Amino acid sequence: MKLTLLDWFFVALYFAINLAIGFYYKSRAGKDTSEFFLGGRNIPWWLAGTSMVATTFAADTPLAVTGLVAKGGIAGNWLWWNMVASGMMTVFLYARLWRRSGVTTDVEFSEIRYSGRPAAFLRGFRALYFGIPINCIVLGWVNLAMVKILMLILGIEKWQALGVVLGLIAITSFISTLSGLWGVLVTDLVQFVIKMSVVIALAFASVNAVGGIDAMKDKLIAMGRADALNFVPDLNSAWMPMITFFVYIGMTWWATWYPGAEPGGGGFVAQRMLSAKDERHSLWATLWFNIAHFAIRPWPWILTALAALILYPNLEDKESGYVLVMIDHLPASLRGLMFAGFIAAYMSTIGTNLNWGASYIVNDFYRRFYKPDEPEKHYVWVSQWVTILLTIVSAIVTFYLTSIAGAWKVLLATGAGTGGVLMLRWYWWRINAWSEISAMLCAAVVSIVLQLVMGMDSDRPVDFAWIMIITVTITTVVWLAVTFLTKPEPMDRLVEFYRRVRPSKAGWGPVAEVAGAVETADDAGAGLVDWLLGCGLIYTSLFGTGKLILGEPVMGSGLLALAAVAAYLLYRRR
């Protein structure tokens, strides 16, 4: 694709804005690690929530969605749509609890909930495990997407594209180390506006390229891809048989750990909740994130993906169809903005993951076990060097990844079975450090054995379903057995946690008696009602919008009316 001087001007302007933001927040970020990693715990809900959305809107996301639509049509998105239930549970059952905990990272949670060496081991292990290998896998697939984009847009080889990516990482790393979380959040806001603007413009261009919505539907039917318009998969299909679909909607969302959709909250989502001004801002930030993530963003991607199916029916790398639509059908005057949008999508995710990963390694390993009594500026300096280390490792990982969606599934399978303990540790006093340790180790071992020894492939739908079922079942049995075979946490630690976080009394009976009068301000039953309303709000908004776009106004309007009712009830209840 040929880029004009105007195109390069827009790209240069984008970088100039980001650098200006970085320098603006430089002095604030250098004060201490609370400012660097949590923005001084003074982030408003709309900024924290938008940053979460921007982080999950990486350069890989529209490409991955294009690949999913090519394989399974609109219904292919159930790979991530099933996570609505997990996201809304975080909103109404966990957001306030996270903010009350007052920790710096979700990994630090281990040593306020548990005690002794097992708690210390769990904190250190999770810090290194999630901060380096898991984080670098996520960074790696985001890098892979950007490499594909650069190869197509600039017409260069993979090694050259990776060189450009390293340059982009260096700039992002510089901004992240310079400005801390405030700089990351404000650049995320700018990047989100740019990204949404350009993907909507591309969706209009792609629909026009195939002759409009009605023509798109007719052409898909003529191609034998009428199934691509279905919102729910054909449960007899090869790509989503019944067993796989039911695993997605009945198990995956609560049983497995996945970045941005951790059961009970975690990772960068927990970081944003912990950085919020107060409990209410934490809840509203997470609610806004889930609404924007699931109900607002998907349709521009999906429309472009459907158009790519028609325009490039024989394309070998289906994920690249999204970029080809941009190159071939986006007006020349918008291509520079679109290129800047891809860079923005890439940098927002990279910036967050670098800051978040560094927070684990520095706060929960280096500071906790190696250098506990250094000045704050020392830890900020170490955080900056750790950010550079993560940059290098993630670039190496990129070489070994071939599929973005495939990497998604590997993480889903590897974390299977840990979700139950991650949710219940807030609501059941009997959970101890060994419960979490056994769940993590068992999930990883069983998943690896099934895939490497038994020959199951997480990229094959039926195999993926059985990997999930077997891993979740064995892991759940193991961590429950370990929980009852080991001693509970000391009562003084449990009482301290209960008074600090104030969870529902339902699962904390023995502890609540010892703790005395504690105003919990949480009703798990009411939270579950809100959770159901929230799930209804998301799905009716998502499908109602889709029906309107695809020319079914009666059904679309009816679903959106139900969404409005759910929103009103939630507002009244909150």
Six token digits for residue 476: 């759940």
pLDDT digits (tens, 9 = 90+) for 345-378: 777 777 777 777 888 888 888 988 888 888 877 8
Is residue 300 within 8 A of residue 202, CB to CB? The reply is yes
Q: What is the pTM of this model?
A: 0.84
Number of separate helices (H) and strands (E) present in the chain:
29, 0
Q: Would you say residue 1 has pLDDT above 70?
A: no
CA distance 408 to 54: 18
Please, what's the b/e burial string for 30-65 (b: 16 or more CB within 10 A of its CB; e: otherwise)?
bebbbbbbbbbbebebebbbbbbbbbbbbbbbbbbb
Please state at what angle helix 332-361 crosses helix 135-154, rounded to 10 degrees: 160
Number of other residues whose CB lies within 10 A of the CB of residue 156: 15
Closest of 223, 271, 260, 205 to residue 57, by C-alpha: 260
CA distance 173 to 354: 7
pLDDT digits (tens, 9 = 90+) for 59-85: 778 888 998 899 889 998 988 898 999
Closest of 54, 70, 75, 81 to residue 408, by C-alpha: 81
Is residue 117 within 8 A of residue 371, CB to CB? The reply is no
**Domains of the chain: which residue ranges?**
5-76+141-229+278-403
Is residue 62 within 8 A of residue 301, CB to CB? The reply is yes
CA distance 86 to 74: 21
pLDDT for 522 equals: 62
CA distance 471 to 418: 10
pLDDT digits (tens, 9 = 90+) for 82-141: 899 999 999 999 999 999 998 888 888 999 999 999 999 999 988 888 888 777 777 777
Could you say which DSSP state residue 108 is in? T
Q: What does the angle CA 413 – CA 165 – CA 358 come to, to the nearest 5 degrees?
A: 60
Report residue 267: phi and psi, to 5°. Answer: 60, -140
| Domain covering 5-76+141-229+278-403: architecture | Up-down Bundle (1.20)
Six token digits for residue 264: 């009970």
